[in-house]
Amino acid sequence: MKRWIPHPLLAAALFIMWLLLNQSVSPGHVVLGAVVALLASRAMAALRPEPVRLASVTPVLELAGLVLADVIRSNLAVARAVLFPRPRVSGFVRVPLDLTNIHGLTVLSCIVTATPGTLWVQFDRTSGVLLIHVLDLIDEEAWVRLLKTRYEARLLRIFAQ
């Protein structure tokens, strides 16, 4: 199993993507999609990425819901800041992270960047300190707390370290 499908999650995602793009579940596309998924995931194995090990799946939905709500809320906040400018302070915040899993960090960077108002600037792997830029910086501690308790805690539960 492991030898034939080195990255089962990636292969499954590629297979679904193929069927979605072709909008068909005809046998021909199922076979073609399976071939593409197998070949692409084997090509990926040549890059020797760190394998994805999910420790728990339930926090995924929880995290997705939270991120959705946060993205909508911060979209409105940034839109307000652009349309009705008022004095505000923007600046950098340092967040010490406990998360070391590379896939967890990737997801976190997507969340931080996709949320308007926060921007992932730099992550130092040796010290584990993440530098982010915040558009509306009122309380530095609150941002650190938000990132650590809302996102990082759940990512630590999702990805096996």
Partner 1 sequence: MIEAPDLPVWAALLVGLLVVGGAAFALIGSLGLLRLRSFYDRVHAPTLGSTLGVALIVTGSMLCFSVLQSKTLVHELMIFILVSLTTPVTLMLLARAALYRDRTSGSGDVPLTDDDASN
Q: Which residues bind partner 1 (CB under 8 A)?
A: 17, 20-21, 23, 71-72, 75, 78-79, 81-83, 85, 90-92, 94, 109-110, 112-122, 124, 127, 129, 131, 133, 135, 140
- Please state, in angstroms and rounded to a whole number, the distance separating the CA atoms of residues 119 and 90: 11
Q: How many Cα atoms within 13 Å fall on the side-chain side of residue 144? A: 13
Q: Nearer Cβ to partner 1, position 4 or 68?
A: 68
Q: Nearer Cβ to partner 1, position 1 or 83?
A: 83
- C-alpha 21 chain-centroid distance: 23
Q: Residue 114's CB: how many other CB atoms inside 10 A?
A: 13
Q: Nearer Cβ to partner 1, position 111 or 156?
A: 111
Taking the complex as a whole, how short is the minimal distance between the CB of residue 48 and partner 1, in angstroms? Answer: 21
DSSP code at position 118: E
